[in-house]
Chains A and B, each alone.
Chain A
C-alpha cells in the first residue's frame, strides 16, 4: 500500500527504514536519496534487483548488506530479468499456495545505472518490458560509468568530458547526443513511464507510487547527480539537480500508456544552460571560445525538446 503522508519530508524520510545509512556510496551521491524515496513511498514488501554498478558495489559487500528487504544482484545487465522472473515465481507460487504468506502484497523493483540501462542491459530491459511483467525499473542516471572511473555511456550528454570521451586540444568531449531512453521505453507501450528528479521529491514519490500501483512494466528515469564525475562539491547535489530541472536539461514528465504525456514540473524562471554547465567541472572546457558552439547546440536541443514535450502534452494523444 502506498504511504499517504508524503507532505512532511522529515516524516517521509524516516518512514519504513529499509535501506541502511551505512553504505559505501560517495558523500553527496544522489543514488541513496532516490533509493530511499522508493523504499519509503510504500508499505508493501519489496523484492529489489540491482545491476552491477555504484549502488550494488556500495550496498552489499560481504559480510554486510544495506538492504533490509529481499535483494538480488546477478550481473551488469540482467536486473530487469531477475526482478521480472522473481515476479513470475511469485505468480506461480501464489497460484500453488507455496508462499510463506500468500496474502502479503509484494512489489518488484529493478535498479540500474545509466550504463546498465542505456547500454549493456538494454536488451534485457527491453525484453522484460515487452513481456509485461508487473514490475518497475528505475534507472539511476548519472550519465556515465561512475563505478569504474567515469567513462562515457550512451546517456552522457554531448560535450561532457569523460575518461573515454576526453576534452582536449582536438576534442570538446563526447560528440554524440544522449539517448532518449524515456521515449524508447514509452514506445514499448509501458503503462507508466516517467522522468523524475530527487530535488522535486514529492513528484518523485508520487511517480514511484504510480509506478508501483500500476499493473505491468513501468520505467522511471531519475537524474542522479554524481559529485565525483560531474565534479561539484558534495554539499551541492540538490543545488545541481535544481539547475538540471530549472534549465530543462532534465525535464520532469510522465507518459501514460505510451502516449499521454504530462509535464510534472514547469520552472517559473527557466534558466540558461550555462548556469548548469558552469557549475560542473565536466563541462568547464565548453566555456573556451572555440567550444561556444557546443553550448549553443545544447541550449538549442533543450529548447526543441521542451517545445516537443509541451506540444505532446497539449495534443493529449
Chain B
C-alpha cells in the first residue's frame, strides 16, 4: 500500500509539480514515460514518489515518447489506470500512437506541457504541440495556471474513464509560464482526491482470461468509416460528462470550471479569444482598459479545446453589444488562418450579430505576451468597432520584430 503524502493546506507548487502530485493521488497502475523539456519534472516528480513508496504502481522509463504512448496503450488494454507526460517533439513522436489510443478507446491521461515544435529548435512554450493533437480524437482540456493543472489532471481521469466516454484525455499547461511558475496551490488530501477520481473499472481487460479480447483489429472500407463515426460521436457526447465532472469538482472544492470560460463579457464591445496562460494576461488588460479608458473589453477561452464547444463559444460571443473579436493563436499557422480563429469564426457565424473577426498569431517559441500587448489588440478591436469595418489585415503577427506582417483584408466595395 502506498504511503500517504503529507500535504499542507496550501502548497507552493509549479505546474509540473502540481500535475505530478495529481498523478500520484490518482494511484495509477502504470506510468510509461520519457523525459523532455519542459515536462521532465512531472516524470522526475513521479519517479521520486515511486522511489519513496508513495506509489505502488509500475513506473516504466521507456526509450522514446513513441514507446511511452505504446506502453500506455498496452498497459491500458490490460485493465488498469495509465498516464504519462510529454511536450513538443516528444508529443510529435507520439502522434501515431495518439490516434491508435483513441481509436482503441483507451482512457489514458496525458499531461502535455505545451512547447514549440522545431525547426528551429526551441524549448519554450507555444501551442504547436497542442494544435498537432487536435484531430487525434482525444479530449483536450487546458489549464491556465498551476492550481488548474492540478485540478484538471484529477478531473481528466473521471472524464476519460467514464463508461460512456472511454477516450484518452490530454491536460495542457503552458511550458515555463505555467509549468515552471510557482504559485499557491490548494491540494486535496490523498484520500479525498482518490475518492473523487474513483476506482478504475476495467473494460475489455486483456488480463481477464474468462473473456478473451482482440484489441487493435483491422477494418477496411467495410467498417472503418462506421468506427470513426462512432468514435467522433463518443467524443462529442463526452461534453455532458465533462460538465458533470466539473460540477462534482465544484461541489467538492468550490472551484468552478466551464468548457468555455468568459470574463467581463456581459456588456463587452470588444473581445479577445485566447488559450492557456495568456488568458490571465488578457483578463488583466481588459480590466485595466475598462478602468483607464472605458473600453468595454472582455475575454473568452475554450478551456475544452476538444471536443470543441461550438455552441458554448457561440453563446459566449452572442452578445448584442459585441462588435469585434480577435482570436489569438500561439502556433505557426502553416499557410492558413490560426486554428482558433477558424473554429471560433465557425461558431460566431451562427450568431445574429456576427461581430468582426480578426486573427493574431502571437508568442511563438515563448515570445512574451504582456498586458500592454493585449491592450493594444483590444484598442485595435475598438478602432474596428468605431469604424464599422476591419481597419487592419485580418491576420496579423503580434510582437514580431521588423516590418509588420499581415494577410487578407475585408472586401468593402
User: Which chain A residues have a beta carbon within 8 Å of chain B's beta carbons?
Assistant: 45, 47, 49, 56-57, 60-63, 65, 67-75, 77-78, 81-86, 88-93, 95-96, 98-101, 104, 106, 123-124, 126-127, 130-131
Contacts and interface: CB of A to CB of B under 8 A. Distances in A.
22 contacts: A47-B207, A70-B212, A71-B213, A72-B215, A73-B216, A74-B100, A75-B97, A78-B67, A83-B74, A85-B74, A85-B75, A86-B75, A89-B82, A89-B207, A91-B58, A98-B29, A98-B80, A99-B208, A100-B205, A100-B209, A123-B63, A123-B64
Given A85-B70, A96-B29, A124-B67, A47 B218 contact: no
B336 interface: no
B79 interface: yes
Contacts of A56: 218
Interface in B186-237: 200, 202, 205-210, 212-220, 223, 227
Contacts, number: 168
Most buried by A among B30, B214, B218: B214
A89 B71 CA distance: 10
Contacts of B97: 74-75, 78
Contacts of A74: 70, 73-74, 97, 100, 104, 216
Contacts of A75: 70, 96-97, 100
B217 A62 contact: yes
A93 B56 contact: no
A53 to B, nearest CB: 11
Contact of B58 (A78, A82, A92): A92
Contacts of B218: 56-57, 60-62, 73
B29 A84 contact: no
A88 B75 contact: yes
Contact of A65 (B74, B202, B207, B217): B217
Nearest to B28: A92
A186 to B, nearest CB: 19
Interface in B73-110: 73-80, 82, 96-97, 100, 104
Contact of B29 (A77, A93, A101, A123): A93
B96 A47 contact: no
Nearest to B223: A62
A247 B82 CA distance: 49
Given A60-B218, A68-B212, A124-B63, A86 B56 contact: no
Contacts of A71: 206, 212-215
Interface in B55-74: 56-58, 60-64, 66-67, 70-74
B70 A78 contact: yes
Given A127-B62, A131-B62, A72 B223 contact: no
Given A75-B100, A124-B63, A88 B223 contact: no
A90 B75 CA distance: 8
Contacts of A49: 74
Interface in B258-298: none
B377 interface: no
A95 B30 CA distance: 12
Interface of B: 29-30, 32, 56-58, 60-64, 66-67, 70-80, 82, 96-97, 100, 104, 200, 202, 205-210, 212-220, 223, 227
Contact of A85 (B72, B210, B212): B72
B213 A127 contact: no
A290 B81 CA distance: 62
A96 B97 CA distance: 28
Nearest to A73: B216
A126 B82 CA distance: 23
Most buried by A among B67, B79, B219: B67
Contacts of B223: 62-63
Contacts of B60: 84-85, 88, 131
Nearest to A98: B80
Given A89-B30, A92-B56, A126 B63 contact: yes
Nearest to B64: A123
A288 to B, nearest CB: 41
Contacts of B62: 81, 127, 131
Given A62-B219, A78-B97, A93 B207 contact: yes
A133 B343 CA distance: 45
Nearest to B226: A62
A78 B209 contact: no
The 8 closest A-B pairs by CB, nearest first: A127-B63, A82-B74, A85-B71, A78-B70, A73-B216, A89-B78, A70-B206, A81-B70
A70 B74 CA distance: 11
B213 to A, nearest CB: 6
A127 B64 CA distance: 9
Contacts of B58: 88-89, 91-92
Nearest to B209: A45
Nearest to B60: A88
Contacts of A92: 29-30, 56-58, 80
Given A60-B217, A92-B80, A98-B29, 17 more contacts: A47-B206, A60-B218, A62-B227, A63-B223, A70-B213, A72-B73, A72-B206, A74-B73, A74-B74, A74-B100, A75-B100, A81-B71, A81-B74, A84-B60, A88-B30, A89-B29, A106-B209
A81 B146 CA distance: 32
Most buried by B among A77, A90, A123: A90
B353 to A, nearest CB: 47
B74 A84 contact: yes
A72 B216 contact: yes
Contacts of A61: 217-220
B206 to A, nearest CB: 4
A106 B207 contact: yes
